[in-house]
Amino acid sequence: MAKSKEKKPKPKPPENAPSVIELRKEIADLKSKLAKRKEGATKDGKVNRFDPKVRAALKRVKRAQRRLADEAVRLKPKKAPPAEAAPAAAAPAAEGEKKE
């Protein structure tokens, strides 16, 4: 059997980004609504997870969490190419053209 690969860790969203702040507020609001729905769907101490209102509320929370994860990937700092190497390689070629 082949070994399973370890997954790369998912990036964490920056805390001070305006879009991340808005998404976190939305997730908190949706979680409070989900808690109310679960409370309403509780019978004999058990939550009916198949209640349509509970399922819809849970899907909304998960959707918002996916958007937050996508935003973390989008805002992840990109690896910049070495800035010193590119101008240094172009400089000798430019100097050679000037001499001729």
Q: Report pLDDT digits (tens) over 27-77.
A: 999 999 999 999 999 999 899 999 999 999 999 999 999 999 999 999 988
Q: Rounded to an integer, what distance in angstroms lies between the CA atom of residue 74 and that of residue 23?
A: 14
Q: What was the pLDDT predicted at 96?
A: 56
Kindly report, residue by residue over 1-32, the tens digit of the pLDDT. 778 889 888 889 999 999 999 999 999 999 99
CA 58, chain centre distance (Å): 18
Measured at the alpha carbon of residue 23, what is the angle toward residues 54 and 20, in degrees to the nearest 5? 155
Cβ-based neighbours of 59, under 8 Å, separated by 6 or more: none
Above 60 in pLDDT, residue 98? no
